[in-house]
Amino acid sequence: MQRGTATRRVVMLVDNAVEGDSRVQKAARSAADAGWDVTLLGCAHVDAERRWRLGDAEVRVLPLDAPPGVRALPSPAPAGVGGADDAGAESAGRRDGGVGRAGRIGATVRRGGVRGLRRRLVARGGLALRAARLARRPVEHAQVRYWQARLGDRAWRRLEPGLWAYERLAGPVIDELRPDLIHAHDFRMLGVAARAVDRARAQGRSVKLVWDAHEWLPGARPRRDNARWLPAHLGYVREYVGHADAVVTVSDTLADLLVRDHDLPERPTVLLNAPVAEPAHVTAAEAAPDLRARCGVAAGTPLLVYSGAMAVQRGVDTAVEALTRLPGVHLALVVADPAAGYVRQVIARAARLGVADRVHVLPYVPHRQLVAFLAAADVGLIPLHHWPNHEIALITKFFEYAHARLPIVVSDVRTMADTVRATGQGEVFRARDAADLARAIRAVLADPARYRAAYEGPDSPLPGWTWESQAERLNALYHRLLTPTPLPRAR
C-alpha cells in the first residue's frame, strides 16, 4: 500500500458502538495501517463516551443518551469482536418522534373507526399487542402521505426526527477534527457526513465524502414496527446521496442496484465483507479459544456452527428443528449476547423439541480470532429466510466460514446459493424447510473432504476473499479522491 498519508485526516462515522461491527473495525484499522490519520466515531446508547485504539486508528463512541454538557473521561478499550454481519448492529435512534400536524390530520381522517378499534383491541387482554399496532397503520400511512406531499424527500424531518440526534452528537466533533475525507458507514450517517462537508466547504476547506452502503435500504426489514420508518429513511438517503464523491458497497449486485436507484455517475467500488487473513505470527495470548472445548463437544462428534446476529429472519429456529432429524449432531451458536431475548426463545424451543442438550450458546470472540475459532466445526450454517437483502449479498459469515475451510450449508437465497453451487463448497436447502436442511447437512457430513476441496488448489476463491485485498481498493479510492487533478497546460 501507499504510505506517507498521515497528514491527511479521515473521519469514519457509524451509528453503533463499533465493537460488534467487523466491517467498520477492519476499514478503520486497515486505513490507519496504510498511513491515514483515522478517527472512527460511533454513536450509540452508552452511558459515557468511550475511547480506545484499533491499531493506529482512534475510536470514539459518543453517548446518545448523555445529559447535555456532560463529557466523560475515556474508558478502557473493550475487546473488538467479530462475527457480526455487514448490516451491522442495531444500537441507536429507536425513539418514535412526534408527527405534529400530520398526526392530527391522519387521526381526523380515521378518528372514529381506528381509535375505537384500537381501544377495543387493547382492552381485550388476550389479544396480541401487534393487533393494536396494525390498527394504527392507517393513521401512520396518512402521516407519510401528507408529509411526503408537503416536503418530498425532506419529509424524514417529520417522520423520523430522531435522525437529528446523530447530527447533534457527531456534527460538532467532526467539525473539530477538520477531516480531509469523511467515510460514512451505512445509511444513518450519510446526512451527518453530507452536512459536515457542506459546513467545511463553506469555510473554504475541501472535504471528500465516501458513502459505504452496507445494505439495499428498499429491501431492508424496518428496524421499528411502524409505517414511517422505511419511507423516512429512503427519503433521507435520496436527499443526501448526491453529496457523496464516491460510493462503496458490499456486493456487485448491490452496486448495480445503487446505480439504478440513485443514477450514480460511476459504479460503486465493491469491498467484500471478507475476513482479515490469518496473521503470520500469533502469540499465545492472541490464539483463538477452542470452540469444541467451550461447547464440551469431543473431537469426532459432528458440530454445526452458526455465527452472527440472531433474529427470526436469520432462520436459526430451522436449524434447531433440523437437529431432531440429526441424532448425535450438535449446534454452536456464536452470538453477540447469549442472554438476549430472542436467543432465550430459541433455547426454549430447543428444550421443547428435546434437543437443548445439543445446542450451545457462546459469545463472540475478537474478529481476528474468529476464523480459527470456527475452524473446529464441521459445517457452517446460513439458514436465512427469503428477504430482499438476503438475496443480493455475500454476507460476512459466508467469508468467515470459507476461510475456516468449513463446508457451507446455505438456504436458497440467490447470491450465496449460486456461489456455493458454482464453487462446490457446500449444499443448498429450501429456506425454512427443516427436513431439507437436515438432508443437506447429512450430505456434507457424509463426505466433508469433497466440499473442503473447493478451498484448495489454483482455483481456490480464498485469495480474493480477504480483507487485505479489499483494503487495497479502499486505499486506492482514498488516494484518487485526495490527489489534486493537475490543471491542463495553457497553450
C-alpha cell at 448: 466433508
At 296 the pLDDT is 98
At 74 the pLDDT is 35
CA distance 182 to 40: 10
For residue 215, how far is the Cα from the chain centroid?
Answer: 8
- Residue where a domain stops, chosen among 270, 300, 332: 270
Mean pLDDT of 12-36: 95
CA distance 416 to 465: 14
At position 256, the amino acid (one-letter code) is D
Residues 138 and 54 reside in one and the same domain: no
CA distance 382 to 310: 11
Average pLDDT, the chain: 86
At 367 the pLDDT is 78
Residue 482 domain-assigned?
no
Sheet with strand 37-44: strands edge to edge: 50-54, 57-63, 37-44, 9-14, 181-185, 208-213, 246-249, 269-270
Lowest mean pLDDT among 27-41, 155-169, 269-283: 269-283
3-state secondary structure labels for all residues of the chain? CCCCCCCCEEEEEECCCCCCCHHHHHHHHHHHHCCCEEEEEEEECCCCCEEEEECCEEEEEEECCCCCCCCCCCCCCCCCCCCCCCCCCCCCCCCCCCCHHHHHHHHHHHHHHHHHHHHHHHHCCCCCHHHHHHHCHHHHHHHHHHHHHHHHHHHHHHHCHHHHHHHHHHHHHHHHHCCCEEEEECCCCHHHHHHHHHHHHHCCCCCEEEEEECCCHHHCCCCCCCCCHHHHHHHHHHHHHHHCCEEEECCHHHHHHHHHHHCCCCCCEECCCCCCCCCCCCCHHHCCCCHHHHHCCCCCCCEEEEECCCCHHHCHHHHHHHHHHCCCCEEEEEECCCCCHHHHHHHHHHHHHCCHHHEEEEECCCHHHHHHHHCCCCEEEECCCCCHHHHHCCCHHHHHHHHCCCCEEEECCHHHHHHHHHHCCEEEECCCCHHHHHHHHHHHHHCHHHHHHHHCCCCCCHHHCCHHHHHHHHHHHHHHHHCCCCCCCCC
Lowest mean pLDDT among 121-130, 183-192, 196-205, 212-221: 121-130
CATH number at residue 212: 3.40.50.2000
Please check the confidence at residue 256 and state whether its pLDDT lies above 50: yes
* 376 touches 203 (CB < 8 A): no
Instruction: Please give the residue that has the higher pLDDT: either 423 or 89.
Output: 423
At 46 the pLDDT is 95
Residues 309 and 415 reside in one and the same domain: yes
Mean pLDDT of 284-308: 92
CA-based end-to-end distance of the chain: 36
Q: Report pLDDT digits (tens) over 214-251.
A: 999 998 888 888 899 999 999 999 999 999 999 999 99
Residues 364 and 445 reside in one and the same domain: yes
Residues 194 and 256 reside in one and the same domain: yes
**Residues near 211 by Cβ (< 8 Å), separated by ≥ 6?**
184, 190, 193, 241, 244, 246, 247, 248
Please check the confidence at residue 432 and state whether its pLDDT lies above 80: yes
CA distance 324 to 315: 16
Residues 293 and 378 reside in one and the same domain: yes
Residues 172 and 233 reside in one and the same domain: yes
Counting the structural domains of the chain, the total is 3
Beta bridge partners of 125: none
Please check the confidence at residue 483 and state whether its pLDDT lies above 50: yes
At 138 the pLDDT is 87
User: What angle (nearest 5°) sits at the alpha carbon of residue 375, between those of residues 372 and 380?
Assistant: 125
Residue 484 domain-assigned?
no
Residues 262 and 211 reside in one and the same domain: yes
Residues 49 and 145 reside in one and the same domain: no
Band (276; pLDDT cuts 50, 70, 90) = confident
- Residue where a domain stops, chosen among 152, 173, 196: 152
Lowest mean pLDDT among 73-77, 103-107, 366-370, 401-405: 73-77
Residue 138 domain-assigned?
yes
Residues 179 and 295 reside in one and the same domain: no
Instruction: Please give the residue that has the higher pLDDT: either 322 or 85.
Output: 322
Tell me the whole-structure pTM to 2 decimals: 0.79
For residue 70, how far is the Cα from the chain centroid?
Answer: 30
User: Which residues constitute the domain of residue 58?
Assistant: 9-93+161-270
Residue 443 domain-assigned?
yes
Residue 279 domain-assigned?
no
Residues 258 and 366 reside in one and the same domain: no
Please check the confidence at residue 126 and state whether its pLDDT lies above 50: no
* 251 touches 270 (CB < 8 A): yes
Residues 326 and 375 reside in one and the same domain: yes
Lowest mean pLDDT among 74-83, 94-103, 333-342, 480-489: 74-83
At 65 the pLDDT is 79
Residue 243 domain-assigned?
yes
Residue 44 domain-assigned?
yes
Residue 278 domain-assigned?
no
Please check the confidence at residue 83 and state whether its pLDDT lies above 60: no
Residues 376 and 439 reside in one and the same domain: yes
Instruction: Please give the residue that has the higher pLDDT: either 373 or 126.
Output: 373
